[in-house]
């Protein structure tokens, strides 16, 4: 997450400085920390029994919802970016992969938000919720780059069949 988009955002687009974004990030974390639920010791189901349903309804520990999805989602984004930068994927394929990843990201965000009460410390609950907003911000940066600055990210000189997407 933010491996390719944030450096482009700060060096080429420059809507906001890194210090300003850090201040916003820390302020948002404080707000999320104050509004996070206090962890309760609930009797939770094992994470391997109906995993998708239990994560959606908030019935398992936050750890089992956050980390598997976070790692898989970021591996998918990083692989997509590497293949796009090397010229293996076209612009429209990059769009398709992000549309396909949108639904699991929404499921993951809902699961993390509902399971954040199943955590022992408010710090971890607020951090997981903050990562959800970071993923939304990442998608916003990717949309901004795709719509307004495609020549900064995509290798448009080598895309003969999909050259029109670079405008």
Choose the weakest-confidence range: 3-12, 130-139, 155-164: 155-164
Q: What is the pLDDT of residue 150?
A: 79
Q: Which of 146, 11, 13 is nearest to 84 (CA)?
A: 146
Write down the mean pLDDT value for the chain: 86
The pLDDT tens digits for 92-124 are 888 899 999 999 999 999 999 999 988 888 999
Per-residue buried b or exposed e for 61-78, using 16+ beta carbons within 10 Å of the residue's own CB: bbebbbeebbeebeebbe
Q: What is the pLDDT of residue 44?
A: 64
> Hey, where are the domains in the chain?
5-38+55-166
Q: What is the pLDDT of residue 34?
A: 94
- On whether the CB atoms of residues 62 and 112 are closer than 8 A, the answer is yes
Q: How confident is the model at residue 77 (pLDDT cuts 50, 70, 90)?
A: very high
What's the rounded Cα separation, in Å, for the pair 107 and 118? 17
The pLDDT tens digits for 47-75 are 677 888 988 988 888 999 999 999 999 99
Taking only Cα atoms into account, the Rg of the chain, rounded to an integer number of angstroms, comes to: 18
What's the rounded Cα separation, in Å, for the pair 18 and 32? 21
Q: Is the pLDDT of residue 130 over 90?
A: yes
Alpha-carbon 66 to chain mean position: 11
Q: What are phi and psi of 117, to 5 degrees?
A: -75, -15
Percent above pLDDT 90 for the chain: 44
Q: What is the pLDDT of residue 92?
A: 83
Average pLDDT over every residue of 73-101 = 88
Q: What is the pLDDT of residue 43?
A: 53
Q: What is the pLDDT of residue 126?
A: 95
What's the rounded Cα separation, in Å, for the pair 70 and 56? 15
């Amino acid at each position: 997450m933010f491996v390719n988009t944030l450096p482009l955002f700060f060096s080429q687009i420059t809507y906001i400085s890194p210090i300003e974004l850090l201040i916003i990030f820390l302020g948002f974390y404080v707000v999320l920390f104050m509004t996070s639920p206090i962890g309760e010791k609930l009797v939770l189901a094992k994470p391997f029994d109906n995993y998708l349903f239990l994560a959606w309804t908030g019935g398992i520990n936050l750890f089992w919802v956050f980390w598997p999805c976070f790692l898989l989602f970021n591996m998918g984004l990083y692989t997509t970016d590497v293949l796009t930068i090397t010229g293996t994927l076209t612009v429209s394929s990059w769009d398709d992969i992000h549309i396909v990843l949108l639904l699991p990201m929404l499921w993951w965000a809902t699961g993390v938000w509902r399971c954040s009460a199943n955590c022992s410390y408010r710090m971890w609950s607020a951090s997981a919720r903050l990562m959800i907003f970071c993923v939304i911000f990442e998608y916003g940066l990717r949309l901004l780059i795709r719509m307004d600055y495609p020549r900064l990210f995509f290798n448009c000189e080598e895309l003969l069949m999909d050259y029109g997407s670079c405008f």
